[in-house]
Amino acid sequence: MNQTLIELLDTRVRAALAAVDCPDAPAVIQPAGRPEFGDYQANGVMGAAKARKMNPRQLATEVLAKLDLAGIASKVEIAGPGFINITLAPEYLAGLSNLALTDANMGVPHPPAQRVVVDYSSPNLAKEMHVGHLRSTIIGDALARVLRFMGHEVIAQNHVGDWGTQFGMLTAYLIEAEQAGDVALSDLEDFYRRAKQRFDEDEVFATHARECVVKLQGGDAQVNALWQKFLDVSLHHCEALYAKLGVGLKREDVRGESAYNDDLPVVVADLQAKGLAVESEGAQVVFLDEFKNKDGEAQAYIVQKQGGGYLYATTDLAAVRYRAGTLHADRVLYVVDARQALHFQQMFTLSRKAGYAPAGMSLEHVGFGVMLGEDGKPFKTRSGGTVKLADLLEEAEQRAYALVSEKNQEMPAEERAVIAKAVGIGAVKYADLSKNRNSDYVFSWDSMLSFEGNTAPYLQYAYTRIASVFRRVETFDTRAPIIINDEAERQLALALARFAEALQTVARETMPHFLCAYLYELATQFMRFYEACPVLKSEGSVRDSRLRLCELTARTLKTGLGLLGIETLEQM
Ligand code: ARG
């Protein structure tokens, strides 16, 4: 297959529209949404009829006469003011299932491959990673996995905050702590707090900290070694969390802010030379007409502070140059908190104007809302502090362990721990990924760990149910074809065939929740099939075919959850 179902139907309906003199009319194929409308609905005829001042039903009749869906659809009808409802033929869907069973890529077509930079996780290394970075890490990782599966080349970039005045303070404090023989870096959060306290309270220390900033920037060997040491400890801490989360970010994916230091003066000079950056109150500023302030004047985008310091914005401009000029990216995704939306819009606009981002390179801010507590307020610890990611994941596993223990009292403790890890971490990730990322979302242990509804445990459980079917099978023909006789089988095969569509939507919209919704729908269709169609109690080729449907469902669930970075288990 080189097209998804939607693409195939789109091609055919457009050909029919062209044959009745509507060559540019879009077909507008959508999943029908209701059984009486068939499987897919073409909505493009109405628009085409309007453009030609024709009766839409009349035009639909003409289109229908030209529409060639032989071997694909079993029923094509006109409905309402000119919809075309399409029901796919069981034999055709069976064919797609058989193909998916044998194809290395499960029948998912590869679009023209792109090189995609995914900038994600990107915590500030001065502090410990907190829940705010959880969303970026999880969403970014899922997108990277989906894009790779679709044949794209993904370059992960962990744009960590590893530069700035805080690091002067931290290295100054590290010098003090090491002199005192203190193994200060075991708790980064605590270390940061103590350093900050010294900075605020002790003038001598604060002066030393400022000297350290200058030394760091000037390349002083001792201060640089301490800075490196600090970064290393902080990155180790991140990596422990990535491992726990099953996130694939590696040390070589780290390209922090400091990597762009040498390019920052070049960027500012270039913006000046291009007449984009001008001096304003001692700072270097770009006035962007596209963005107005409340007085209707062009907004100032600062690229160099008064006093010569560079900013987050300058670094991001340098990063665009690197991603275009060195990495040759076709597409760059910035998986960053929605509150930074204005920064990205301005930075993208300026990157285009300055010629840093060629027209063919797509720049996309993949924003997301904040995580809220069950009280609807930003997620905090009981005492009001920021929640450390490590603590949160620990709690997830503990809660899942308690749940698993309730269900399987006889199970050995190690086995329970393995399940608890998959379920606990899976639940946290899935709860995040299954919501439209643009909205804030409420973090609720009870709903994410529920075995009912659109949750990780529900899907993981659905998978184990199929696995248990296979444990009860003694023999079956593992190469038997899928044959569809029953409507529940047909619906399941249709759901299976939609995997490609779901992935395509995720990749295009950069929205993982479409894959979650898809997997939930697939599991639901499977449960319906399993109730309507006996599998182990049926016989001969029907039994083999149904087992093959089970097999493909299990594989699709496992692959789909895997693309979300969620583990499946054979038993739980
Ligand atoms: N370190 C930043 C933060 O924690 C996120 C960086 C995102 N990436 C970027 N290229 N700006 O807010």
CB burial of 318-344 (b: ≥16 within 10 Å; e: otherwise) equals bbbbbbbeebebbbbbbbbebeeeebb
Domains in the chain, number: 3
Query: For 183, which DSSP code?
Result: -
Residue with the nearest Cα to atom 5 of ligand 1?
Answer: 122
- The alpha carbon of 124 and the centre of ligand 1 are apart by a number of angstroms equal to 8
The verdict on the CB of residue 547 being under 6 Å from ligand 1 is: no
One domain for residues 137 and 190: no
Q: Is the pLDDT of residue 1 over 80?
A: no
Q: Mutation test of ligand 1: which of 120, 134, 340, 345 has the most ligand atoms closer than 8 Å to its C-beta?
A: 340
Averaged pLDDT score across all residues of the chain: 95
* Domain end call among 231, 246, 270: 231
Beta-carbon-side half-sphere exposure of residue 305 (alpha carbons within 13 Å): 8
Q: How far is the CA of 36 from the centre of ligand 1 (A)?
A: 48
State whether 66 and 94 are in the same domain.
no
pLDDT of residue 390: 87
Between vectors from CA 462 to CA 562 and to CA 443, what angle results, nearest 5°? Answer: 65
CA of 424 to the centre of ligand 1 (A): 27
Ligand 1 centroid–CA 507 distance in Å is 22
Q: What is the pLDDT of residue 378?
A: 86
Q: Verify whether ligand 1 is closer than 6 Å to residue 334 (CB atom).
A: yes
How many angstroms separate the CA atoms of 216 and 198, rounded?
19
Pair 96, 197 in one domain: no
Residue 160 belongs to a domain: no
Amino acid in the structure at residue 455: T
**Would residue 237 count as lying in a domain?**
no
Asked if residue 286 is part of any domain, the answer here is no
CA of 353 to the centre of ligand 1 (A): 22
Model pLDDT, residue 389: 87
Report if residue 310 sits inside a domain: no
- What pLDDT score does 129 carry? 86
Whether residue 321 is contained in a domain is answered as no
Q: Do both 389 and 489 map to the same domain? A: yes
Cα–ligand 1 centroid distance for 160 (angstroms): 7
Q: Give the Å distance between the CA of 218 and the centre of ligand 1.
A: 24
Domain match, 447 and 500 both: yes
**What is the SS3 string spanning 124-144?**
ECCCCCECHHHHHHHHHHHHH
Q: Which residue has the tokens 């694939």?
A: 248
- Is the Cβ atom of 67 under 6 angstroms away from ligand 1? no
Contacts of 91 (CB under 8 A, 6+ apart): 71, 484
Number of H helices, E strands in the chain: 20, 13
Residue minimizing CA distance to atom 6 of ligand 1? 122
| pLDDT value of position 183 | 65
- Same domain for 177 and 62: no
- At which of 200, 231, 262 does a domain end? 231
Residue 506 clears pLDDT 70, i.e. is over it: yes
One domain for residues 67 and 131? no
Q: What is the pLDDT of residue 383?
A: 82
Whether ligand 1 lies within 6 angstroms of the CB of 253 is answered as no
Q: Which atom of ligand 1 is nearest to the CA of 132?
A: 4
Could you report the per-residue pLDDT of 347-400, keeping only the tens digit for each? 999 999 999 999 999 999 999 999 999 888 888 887 888 888 889 999 999 999
3-state helix, strand, coil in the chain (%, to 5): 55, 15, 30
Domain that holds residue 214: 165-231
Judge if 419 and 560 occupy the same domain: yes
Backbone angles phi, psi at 130, to 5 degrees: -125, 180
| 334 backbone dihedrals φ, ψ, rounded to 5° | -110, 105
The residue with tokens 């090189």 is 115
Structure confidence by residue, pLDDT tens digits, 268-315: 999 999 999 999 999 999 999 999 988 999 999 999 999 899 999 999
pLDDT digits (tens, 9 = 90+) for 109-137: 999 999 999 999 999 999 888 887 899 99
**94 and 12, same domain (yes or no):** no
Is 124 near ligand 1, meaning CB less than 6 Å away?
Answer: yes
pLDDT in tens, 10-61: 999 999 999 999 999 999 999 998 889 999 999 999 999 999 999 999 999 9
Rounded alpha-carbon distances, angstroms, from residue 512 to 246, 304, 507, 569: 17, 37, 8, 22
Nearest CA to ligand 1 atom 8: 159
CB atoms within 10 A of CB 95: 19
Which atom, in ligand 1's list, is nearest to the CA of 160? Answer: 1
User: Do the beta carbons of residue 521 and residue 479 sit within 8 Å?
Assistant: no
Measured from the Cα of 340, ligand 1's closest atom is 12
**Per-position DSSP letters for 291-360, written without gaps between them:** EE-TTSPEEEEEEE-TTS-B-HHHHHHHHHHHHHHTT--SEEEEE--GGGHHHHHHHHHHHHHTTSS-TT
Query: Separation of 316 CA from ligand 1 center, angstroms?
Result: 9
- If pLDDT is split at 50, 70 and 90, which confidence band does 535 have? very high
Co-location of 466 and 447 in the same domain: yes
Does residue 119 line the site of ligand 1, with CB under 6 A? Answer: yes
CATH number, domain with residue 506: 1.10.730.10
Residue nearest to atom 4 of ligand 1 (CA): 123
Q: How far is CA 216 from CA 189, 191, 224, 363, 391, in A?
A: 22, 19, 6, 32, 33
Confidence check: pLDDT of 190 > 90:
no
Ligand 1 pocket member 429 (CB < 6 A): no
Please tell me if the CB atom of residue 316 comes closer than 6 angstroms to any atom of ligand 1. Answer: yes
Same domain, 81 and 99: no
320 within domain boundaries = no
Instruction: For residue range 195-213, list pLDDT tens digits in order.
Output: 999 999 999 999 999 999 9
Atom of ligand 1 nearest to the CA of 336: 7
Determine the length of the chain: 572
User: How many C-beta neighbours within 10 Å does residue 564 have?
Assistant: 26
If residue 11 lies in a helix (H) or strand (E), which one and from where to where? helix 5-19
513 pocket-lining for ligand 1 (C-beta < 6 Å): no
* Residue 452 belongs to some domain of the structure: yes
User: For residue range 390-448, what is the model confidence (pLDDT) as tens digits?
Assistant: 899 999 999 999 999 998 889 999 999 999 999 999 999 999 999 999 999 899 999 99
- CATH number of the CATH domain containing 40: 3.30.1360.70
The CA-based angle 378-383-387, given to 5 degrees, is 50
Whether 534 is covered by a domain: the verdict is yes
